């Protein structure tokens, strides 16, 4: 009996792999490149340390196999990544962020550490062999911060700041109880001081009750002491923990300012009482209460505002249903049993019932019922979307009316809503490059302010003793009977404390993350998922946008664009032609055949067609078969058509050689042949010629006209008579041309890059207004084209949806994936557009510009408060009359953080520009181009060919091009695919 075993392979700079080994009982490997082997027999795993320069996993598997044991590399998803997401409490400014990050990064084994002040989160990547999660938690706790683990269920949120809001609200109210009397006494002293100066004498509150102790100083002392030691206990605790580990943050500045004010006042008051002074000295007992009132108020408002920055994410998270009705179905989808369960217990494949007005608990497909769904908060689509059997639904969207039965396809953390929440949370935790500079500056900010404060004391002491008149002029309430030394010392300390009070690294630390939080949240509400601060900051720098064609500019699904009925030959009604063609193509697996069958069903208003037998498909040519049993179909179709005339679709139909009456017959009732069976041929020219049918010049011209536009022309013969031509194409999205024009009007170069042939690529480019096209390009060539534009100094955005686009999406400066694309493309991209709308590319660039503009405004606020406020507080602008009291500095410090956060909240006013507004800006601009205006390149070719080479290539391929064409088109003609004439076997890329 074989026992399965796993190898874990790693080394110091070694790669990790997991290998499953069967039949291993004991093992000894002695091979060059393998450093050590640790085998765990009972759990069937082994850890191998090896040098990847000498060995790779496949060779190690071979070595194990030679020993007689089975082995295979384990899947990566069985490996537990060394990634830890933590919620961190107690951070007050960007200095805290810098301290945590620098301390973690100095720890051996921690590879990456990112801490976000605005979200109170830490994201840590580490080597689990060198350091563990508990070690990381201890490190952060040792710095004086609270830490808790965030469960990785995709729906966690630490952005509401409720604990911080409650804490600072209580702190503010406590300080305010003592601060109001202090403020009242200060106002009383200011008002009464002028009156007493006019009449002489002193104010009653200035009278001593003991030698050296006045009533006002006693009142200030009694009010200040509880605020200092009870209201400020949180600051003392945080400052102690910070200084204990050799770092300084905002709490250290606050504690330093209030402590200096309190201790200095207490000492001079005791000295005055001991000396029995006739007049009580000037003190700073009024400063701590006012500081704590304004700081606590500022912190409270700051956290309230910060919680608002995550409101968009909170709205998304609130969409998640809490329970679901799981049903058991019988025949014809009849409900046998219903059970109300928690949404966490719903499994993939379960059928859930969603009542009118209820939330969809899972992603799934509708199997019964018809309704409308409101998906606006998830996709940004304002209009309700019709849901019927076969439609996909998104968890969190709202069922408007009509009960639906939905089969679960994605549950729990796999749902679209959970993935969106996860992406937005990760984006809000990440940092923009500009923020990294701010964090580094904040790490040195507090020590710098402490030095400035000390220099301020020294400078004013020197100035005061050298020229007392300067101090006396600006000293508040200066009286002749106050000693000069007392005035000079008090003034110097007042300026120093004001410097400590006004300095605020918080505003610098909040300038970027709050704007990023709001920007990513607003983007998510509008169907634009931005994966972090870096792509959000990068988008506004984009100078070139490269669009994939299929599924990006076009719908990615072939559609019938025209039906030409040759009435003068076959004299068959349109409905009969559609019924026969649809029945024949229903047996085809070719994308074009599927598109034709779908079109016929839609035109006939039916899901069932006739019978098809003797079906034969010839690759590159077409199909042949026999069709029968369409009479009932035609009869039912006729009744449906009487009640629902397809007037909107008739422009697709052209009747060649039909009179008015004949046209009516074609569009109306069946003229009908009673033949129960029809012999059908559908394909290209060659297929018709091989079966002995003549393609006349007028039909060939009609086909060539469509093929020049990049469409595929298909001929239909019924019972040996050529009776119709169908044009099939991957149609352009309605907003593509407008999106391209808008980008060009913004000064951005637009390119199209596709693996499709040059003719089709050029035809699509002329429709949407793209002047430069790269056709017949391999996925690796797409990367080369991106690099080529980057070498020109352009920031390149790549927009795509397929697996073949993922390398270019990853290599571009900004990768933008269409949400309806593949998982690989979405994973590789920096921005995901949930809606299949190219105007969202423009919207993402506009949102980036708005966000970066807001970040710059935030930095202006932060710099004004710090670069201008600190010199004013230090007394630099005293000659022009600018003097600040300490409480004024604390008010300014509190206002700095609040103003920055409120500035970021203005981003919530951003509204995505509507298509109608884009169209009005275009002012009826002609979006399409002539073929000569489109420069087409094939593959990686860059150089032009000579005119002689071009003529030879034309002769070799026997093609004729209308118009002069572009030089690049001429130069690349030798590379044109021989299958440019649309054939039945052509694949749409």
Burial tier of 864 (Cβ tally within 10 Å: 0-12, 13-18, 19+): middle
Instruction: Tell me the torsion sign for CA atoms 417, 422, 423, 425.
Output: positive
Backbone angles phi, psi at 359, to 5 degrees: -90, 145
Specify the residue for token string 């923020």. Answer: 435
3-state SS class at 26: coil
Residue of 251, 350, 548, 805 marked catalytic: 548
- Assess contact for 82 and 122: CB atoms under 8 A: no
d(CA 505, CA 980): 64
Kindly state the helix (H) or strand (E) to which residue 48 belongs, with its residue range: strand 45-50
Dihedrals phi, psi of 386, to nearest 5 degrees? -70, 135
What's the CA gap between 886 and 891, in Å, rounded? 9
**For 164, what's the count of Cα atoms within 13 Å in the CB-facing half-sphere?**
26
Q: How far apart are CA 185 and CA 245, in angstroms?
A: 40
Cβ-based neighbours of 574, under 8 Å, separated by 6 or more: 563, 565, 653, 655, 666, 667
Q: Which residues pair with 546 in a beta bridge?
A: 751, 798
Sheet with 14-22, strands from edge to edge, namely 34-40, 45-50, 4-11, 14-22, 70-74
d(CA 402, CA 400): 7
Q: How far apart are CA 89 and CA 558, in angstroms?
A: 55
Contact 324, 361 (CB under 8 A): yes
Cα 310 from Cα 905, distance rounded (Å): 10
The DSSP-derived string for 80-136 is ---EEEEEEE---SHHHHHHHHHHHHTSTTEEEEEEETTTTEEEEEE-TTT--HHHH
Residue 908 carries which DSSP code? G
CA angle at residue 847 from 845 to 848, to 5 degrees?
65
Query: Which tokens is 879 given?
Result: 């000659």
Distance (Å) of CA 724 to CA 173, 566, 655, 657, 702:
84, 5, 9, 12, 11
Full DSSP string of 145-160: -EEEEPP-SS-----S
Contact by Cβ (8 Å): 366, 391: yes
The residue assigned the tokens 């191998």 is 48
Residue 392's nearest CA partner among 378, 420, 373, 411 is 373
Q: Identify the CA nearest to 249 among candidates 437, 512, 445.
A: 445
Query: For this structure, is 286 an active site residue?
Result: no
Q: How far apart are CA 276 and CA 445, in angstroms?
A: 43
Cβ within 8 Å of residue 823, ≥6 positions away: none
CA 58 centroid distance within chain: 38
Cα 503 to its chain centre, rounded Å, is: 34
Which of 891, 828, 843 lies closest to 865 in space, CA to CA? Answer: 891
The token pair that represents 622 in the structure block? 């077409």
Q: State the residue for tokens 């060009």.
A: 744
CA-to-CA separations, 715 to 452, 620, 621, 686, 723, in angstroms, rounded: 86, 13, 11, 10, 8
Q: Residue 681 corresponds to which tokens in the numbers above?
A: 């041929």
Point out the residues that are catalytic: 548
């Amino acid at each position: 009996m074989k026992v399965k075993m796993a190898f874990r392979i790693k080394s110091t700079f070694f790669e990790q792999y997991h290998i499953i080994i069967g039949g291993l009982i004991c093992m000894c490997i002695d091979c060059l490149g393998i450093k050590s082997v640790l085998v765990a027999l009972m759990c069937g795993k082994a850890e191998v340390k090896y040098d990847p320069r000498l060995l790779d996993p496949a060779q190690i598997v071979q070595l194990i196999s030679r020993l007689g044991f089975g082995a295979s590399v384990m899947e990566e998803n069985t490996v537990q990544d060394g990634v830890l997401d933590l919620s961190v409490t107690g951070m007050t400014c960007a200095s805290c962020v810098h301290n945590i990050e620098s301390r973690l990064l100095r720890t051996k084994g921690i590879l990456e550490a990112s801490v976000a002040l605005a979200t109170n989160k830490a994201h840590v990547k580490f080597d689990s062999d060198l350091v563990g999660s508990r070690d990381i938690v201890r490190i952060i706790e040792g710095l004086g911060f609270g830490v808790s683990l965030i469960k990785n269920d995709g729906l966690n949120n630490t952005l509401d700041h409720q604990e911080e809001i409650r804490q600072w609200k209580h702190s503010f109210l406590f300080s305010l109880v003592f601060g109001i009397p202090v403020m009242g006494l200060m106002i009383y002293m200011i008002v009464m001081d002028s009156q007493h100066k006019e009449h002489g004498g002193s104010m009653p509150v200035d009278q001593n009750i003991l030698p050296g102790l006045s009533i006002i100083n006693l009142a200030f002392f009694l009010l200040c002491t509880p605020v200092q030691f009870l209201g400020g206990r949180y600051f003392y605790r945080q400052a102690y923990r910070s200084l204990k580990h050799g770092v300084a943050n905002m709490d250290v500045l606050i504690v330093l300012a209030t402590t200096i004010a309190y201790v200095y006042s207490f000492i001079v008051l005791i000295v005055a009482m001991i000396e029995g002074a006739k007049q009580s000295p000037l003190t700073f007992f009024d400063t701590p209460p006012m500081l704590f009132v304004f700081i606590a108020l500022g912190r409270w408002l700051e956290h309230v505002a910060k919680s608002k920055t995550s409101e968009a994410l909170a709205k998304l998270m609130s969409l998640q249903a809490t329970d679901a009705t799981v049903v058991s179905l019988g025949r014809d989808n009849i409900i046998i049993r219903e059970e109300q369960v928690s949404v966490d217990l719903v499994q993939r494949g379960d059928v859930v019932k969603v009542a009118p007005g209820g939330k969809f608990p899972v992603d799934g497909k509708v199997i019964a019922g018809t309704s409308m769904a409101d998906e606006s908060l998830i996709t940004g689509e304002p209009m309700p979307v019709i849901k019927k059997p076969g439609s996909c639904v998104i968890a969190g969207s709202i069922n408007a009316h009509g009960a639906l039965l939905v089969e679960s396809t994605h549950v729990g953390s796999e749902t679209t809503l959970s993935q969106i929440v996860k992406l937005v949370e990760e984006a809000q935790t990440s940092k923009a490059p500009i923020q990294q500079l701010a964090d580094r500056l904040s790490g040195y900010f507090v020590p710098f302010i402490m030095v400035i404060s000390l220099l301020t004391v020294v400078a004013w002491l020197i100035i005061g003793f050298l020229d007392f008149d300067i101090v006396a002029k600006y000293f508040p309430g200066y009286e002749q009977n106050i000693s000069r030394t007392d005035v000079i010392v008090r003034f110097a300390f007042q300026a120093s404390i004001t410097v400590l009070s006004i300095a605020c690294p918080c505003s610098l630390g909040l300038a970027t993350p709050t704007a990023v939080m709001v920007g990513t949240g607003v983007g998510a509400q509008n169907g634009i998922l931005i994966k972090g601060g870096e792509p959000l900051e990068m988008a506004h720098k984009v100078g070139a946008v490269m669009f994939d064609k299929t599924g990006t500019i076009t719908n990615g699904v072939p559609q019938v664009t025209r039906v030409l009925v040759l009435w003068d030959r076959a004299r068959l009604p349109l409905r009969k032609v559609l019924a026969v063609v649809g029945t024949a193509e229903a047996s085809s697996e070719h994308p074009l055949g599927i598109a034709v069958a779908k079109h016929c069903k839609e035109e006939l208003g039916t899901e069932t067609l006739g019978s098809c037998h003797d079906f034969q498909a010839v690759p590159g040519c077409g199909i042949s078969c026999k069709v029968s049993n369409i009479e009932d179909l035609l009869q039912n179709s006729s009744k449906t058509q009487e009640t629902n005339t397809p007037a909107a679709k008739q422009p697709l139909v052209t009747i060649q050689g039909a009179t008015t009456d004949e046209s009516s017959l074609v569009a109306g009732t069946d003229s009908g042949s009673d033949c129960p069976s029809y012999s059908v041929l559908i394909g290209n020219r060659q297929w018709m010629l091989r079966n002995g049918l003549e393609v006349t010049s007028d039909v060939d011209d009609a086909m060539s006209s469509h093929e020049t536009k990049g469409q595929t022309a298909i001929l239909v013969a019924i019972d040996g008579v050529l009776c119709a031509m169908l044009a099939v194409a991957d149609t352009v999205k309605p907003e593509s041309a407008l999106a391209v024009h808008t980008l060009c009007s913004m000064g951005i170069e637009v390119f199209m890059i596709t693996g499709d042939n040059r003719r089709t690529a050029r035809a699509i480019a002329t429709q949407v207004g793209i002047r430069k096209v790269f056709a017949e390009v391999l996925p690796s060539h797409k990367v080369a084209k991106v690099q080529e534009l980057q070498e020109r100094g352009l920031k390149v955005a790549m927009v795509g949806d397929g697996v073949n686009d993922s390398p270019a999406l990853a290599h571009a400066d900004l990768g933008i994936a269409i949400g309806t694309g593949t998982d690989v493309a979405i994973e590789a991209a920096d921005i995901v557009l949930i809606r299949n709308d190219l105007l969202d590319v423009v919207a993402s660039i506009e949102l980036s510009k708005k966000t970066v503009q807001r970040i710059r405004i935030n930095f202006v606020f932060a710099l004004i408060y710090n670069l201008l406020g600190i010199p004013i507080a230090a007394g630099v602008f005293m000659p022009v009359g600018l003097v600040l009291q300490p409480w004024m500095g604390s008010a300014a410090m509190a206002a700095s953080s609040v103003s920055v956060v409120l500035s970021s909240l203005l981003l919530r006013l951003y509204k995505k520009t509507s298509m109608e507004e884009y169209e009005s800006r275009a002012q009826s601009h002609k979006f399409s181009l002539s073929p000569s205006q489109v420069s087409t390149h094939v593959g990686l070719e860059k150089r032009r060919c000579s005119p002689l080479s071009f003529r030879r290539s034309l002769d070799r391929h026997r093609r004729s091009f209308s118009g002069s064409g572009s030089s690049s088109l001429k130069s690349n003609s030798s590379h044109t695919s021989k299958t440019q004439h649309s054939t039945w076997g052509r694949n749409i890329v």
